[in-house]
C-alpha cells in the first residue's frame, strides 16, 4: 500500500477483537512534599454542596515555591468511590482563570480502595498562564455528576470533606508539576512508580541536544508554503479509513492563536452521507522516525462543535510505515486513538494505545498489542510514546498508560501523523450538519533518546523560551 492510512478502519476494527490485551498501566499520584526543580504547590479545598445529585469540589492551587510555575504543567486529582455502573460528567461553574482554561478528565485507580476507585483530574491550558511565588489561581468552582443525573453518594469518597466549608490546605487532593508529585497523599496502594532516570539529572532538565523534530504549528493556513517546506503533507487524496465516499479536506486543517501558543485544528464534518463527510489528516512526507521519544499535546473532544452528537469519531496521534506484503515483518504502527462515542464494538468513550507488528488484509490476520481506558478524555492531554530496543511505552498526562513487548519494536522508520475521521454513519443517522474538532498544540520527536514526560515538558518549554517554532535535525534515512 502506498497510502499508509488505507484500510486502517478495517485493520484496527478487527485487530482490537483479536489483539493481546495488556492491563492499564496508569498509576495514581501520591504525595511527596518535595518540589520539582524548586517548584512547589499546595492545593486548598472547600466543599460547596453535600447534595445528592452532584459533587462540588472548589479548589485553589497556591504556589508555595521559589520560582514561577507554568499552570500547563500542573495536574490536580480529586479521588472518589464510583457508584456501581456509573459514568460521570465534569463541569466548571466558574473560575478566576476562566473555565475555558481548565480541563477535567476522569481516570481509574490501579489499586482501588474502600473510598476510591476513580479520580477527577484537573489540568490547565497554556491560556491559564503561570503562578508567581506566593500567588494562587483563585476560585475554581468545579462540579461533576452521574451522566444520567441519578443520585450519588459522597460520604464514602476519599477526597470529600463535609466539614470543609472554607478554603484550607487539603492533603486528600494531590498535585503534580511536570509529572512530579509535589502535594497531597493518594489513596493507599496508588503510589507512583517513578521512571528510572540518571540521579544526577533533575527530571525537569532537558536532555542533551540531539537530532529532533519540533513543530509549534505556527502557520497561517493549510496553503502556507512553510508547511511543505517543513516536511508536512495536508491530505487531500481519497480513500480510507472511514466512511465510504468521504473526502479528505485540507481546508479544514486550520491554525490560530490560543493565548500565546499557535494551535492546529483538524475539523471533520458530515451531514449523514458519504458525499457530505469531510475527514482531516496531516502527516510527515518523510518516513525517517524510529527509536526515541514522540510527544504531542492534543485536545480531544466528546461533543461536536455544532449539530447533533453521536458520530463514531476517531481522533489520533500515531506513527506508521507501509505494509510491503501481507504479514511483512518490517511493518510498524503505534497509535493513540480516542473514540468519544465508541465504535468497533465499544458503546461509549474509550482511549486506545496500539502497537502493531504486522497484518494480512485478506483473509484477515493481525499481530498487535493494545491498552485501553474506558472513560472520557475530553480536553487537553500530553501524549508521550517512547521506543527503545526493549519496549514501547505510552504515557498520558505524565502517567504510564501502556507498556508493550519487544516483539512489536519497529524494523523500519515511520512517518508522524494526526487525523480525525468517522468510522461509519451508524452512530448518528441524522442528516443535520455537524462537525468535530481535534486540536494540536505541538509535536516533538527526539531521535534515539528516551525522555521522561517531565523532560519532554522541559524540552518544549526550552524551545518556546528560545522563540523556536520549528526545528528538524532528524537525518533522512
SS3 per residue for 309-356: CCCCEEEEEEEECCCCCCCCCCCCEEEEEEECCCECCECCCEEEEEEE
pLDDT for the residue numbered 313: 98
Q: Which residues pair with 253 in a beta bridge?
A: 266
pLDDT for the residue numbered 363: 86
First to last CA, the chain: 20
Q: What are phi and psi of 215, to 5 degrees?
A: -140, 125
pLDDT for the residue numbered 208: 64
Q: What are phi and psi of 300, to 5 degrees?
A: -85, 155
pTM: 0.62
Ordered per-residue pLDDT tens for the chain, 477 residues: 333 333 343 333 333 333 332 332 222 222 233 333 446 899 999 998 776 889 999 999 999 988 889 898 899 999 999 887 777 888 999 999 999 889 887 877 878 899 999 999 898 987 889 999 999 999 999 999 987 888 999 999 999 999 999 999 999 999 998 778 999 999 988 765 444 334 334 445 556 678 999 999 999 999 999 999 999 999 999 899 999 999 999 999 999 998 888 999 999 999 999 999 999 999 999 999 999 999 999 999 999 999 999 999 999 999 999 999 999 989 999 999 999 999 998 999 999 999 999 888 888 788 888 888 888 999 999 999 999 988 899 999 988 888 888 889 999 999 999 999 999 999 999 999 999 999 999 999 999 999 999 999 999 999 999 999 999 999 997
pLDDT for the residue numbered 204: 53
Task: Say whether 434 sits in a helix, a strand or coil.
Answer: strand
pLDDT for the residue numbered 305: 96
Q: How far apart are CA 308 and CA 471, in angstroms?
A: 40
Rounded alpha-carbon distances, angstroms, from residue 401 to 47, 178, 258, 271, 336: 31, 16, 28, 35, 11
DSSP 83-106: PTT--EEEEEEEETT-GGGEEEEE
CB atoms within 10 A of CB 309: 15
CB atoms within 10 A of CB 200: 6
DSSP 33-72: ---BTTB-EEEEEEE----SS-B-EEEEEEE-SSS-EEGG
| β-pair type (261-270, 253-258) | antiparallel
Q: How far apart are CA 336 and CA 393, in angstroms?
A: 12
pLDDT for the residue numbered 13: 35
Q: Which residues pair with 199 in a beta bridge?
A: none
Q: In terms of Cα–Cα distance, which of 147, 26, 114, 128 is closest to 77?
A: 26
- Assigned C-alpha cell, 456: 519532554
- Assigned C-alpha cell, 187: 489513596
Amino acid at each position: 500500500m502506498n497510502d499508509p492510512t488505507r484500510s486502517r478502519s478495517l485493520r484496527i476494527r478487527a485487530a482490537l477483537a483479536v489483539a493481546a490485551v495488556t492491563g492499564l498501566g496508569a498509576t495514581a499520584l501520591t504525595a511527596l512534599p518535595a518540589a520539582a526543580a524548586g517548584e512547589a504547590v499546595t492545593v486548598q479545598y472547600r466543599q460547596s454542596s453535600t447534595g445528592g445529585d452532584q459533587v462540588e469540589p472548589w479548589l485553589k492551587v497556591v504556589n508555595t515555591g521559589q520560582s514561577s510555575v507554568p499552570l500547563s504543567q500542573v495536574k490536580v486529582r480529586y479521588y472518589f468511590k464510583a457508584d456501581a455502573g456509573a459514568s460521570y460528567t465534569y463541569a466548571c461553574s466558574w473560575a478566576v482563570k476562566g473555565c475555558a482554561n481548565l480541563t477535567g478528565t476522569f481516570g481509574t485507580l490501579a489499586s482501588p480502595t474502600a473510598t476510591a476507585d476513580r479520580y477527577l483530574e484537573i489540568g490547565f491550558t497554556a491560556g491559564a498562564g503561570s503562578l508567581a511565588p506566593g500567588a494562587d489561581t483563585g476560585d475554581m468552582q468545579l462540579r461533576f455528576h452521574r451522566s444520567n443525573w441519578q443520585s450519588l453518594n459522597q460520604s464514602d469518597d476519599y477526597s470529600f470533606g463535609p466539614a470543609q466549608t472554607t478554603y484550607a490546605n487539603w492533603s486528600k487532593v494531590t498535585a503534580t508539576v511536570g509529572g512530579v508529585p509535589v502535594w497531597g497523599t493518594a489513596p493507599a496502594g496508588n503510589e507512583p512508580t517513578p521512571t528510572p532516570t540518571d540521579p544526577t539529572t533533575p527530571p525537569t532538565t532537558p536532555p542533551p541536544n540531539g537530532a529532533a523534530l519540533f513543530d509549534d504549528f505556527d502557520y497561517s493556513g493549510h496553503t502556507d508554503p512553510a508547511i511543505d517546506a517543513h516536511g508536512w503533507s495536508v491530505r487531500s487524496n481519497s480513500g480510507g479509513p472511514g466512511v465510504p465516499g468521504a473526502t479528505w479536506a485540507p481546508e479544514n486543517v486550520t491554525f490560530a492563536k490560543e493565548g500565546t501558543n499557535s494551535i492546529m485544528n483538524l475539523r471533520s464534518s458530515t451531514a449523514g452521507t458519504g458525499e457530505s463527510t469531510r475527514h482531516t489528516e496531516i502527516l510527515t512526507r518523510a518516513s525517517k522516525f524510529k527509536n526515541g521519544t514522540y510527544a504531542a499535546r492534543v485536545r480531544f473532544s466528546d461533543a461536536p462543535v455544532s449539530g447533533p452528537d453521536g458520530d463514531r469519531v476517531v481522533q489520533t496521534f500515531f506513527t506508521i510505515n507501509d505494509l510491503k506484503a501481507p504479514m511483512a515483518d518490517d511493518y510498524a504502527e503505534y497509535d493513540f486513538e480516542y473514540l468519544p462515542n465508541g465504535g468497533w464494538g465499544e458503546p461509549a468513550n474509550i482511549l486506545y494505545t496500539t502497537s502493531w507488528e504486522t497484518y494480512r488484509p485478506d483473509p484477515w490476520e493481525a499481530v498487535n498489542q493494545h491498552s485501553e481506558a474506558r472513560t472520557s478524555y475530553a480536553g487537553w492531554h500530553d501524549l508521550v510514546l517512547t521506543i527503545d530496543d526493549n519496549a514501547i511505552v505510552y504515557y498520558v498526562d505524565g502517567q504510564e498508560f501502556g507498556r508493550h513487548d519487544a516483539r512489536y519494536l519497529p524494523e523500519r522508520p515511520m512517518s508522524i501523523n494526526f487525523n480525525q475521521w468517522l468510522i461509519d454513519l451508524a452512530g448518528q443517522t441524522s442528516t443535520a450538519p455537524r462537525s468535530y474538532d481535534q486540536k494540536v498544540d505541538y509535536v516533538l520527536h527526539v531521535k534515539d533518546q528516551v525522555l521522561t514526560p517531565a523532560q519532554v515538558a522541559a524540552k518544549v518549554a526550552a524551545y518556546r523560551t528560545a522563540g523556536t517554532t520549528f526545528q528538524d535535525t532528524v537525518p533522512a534515512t
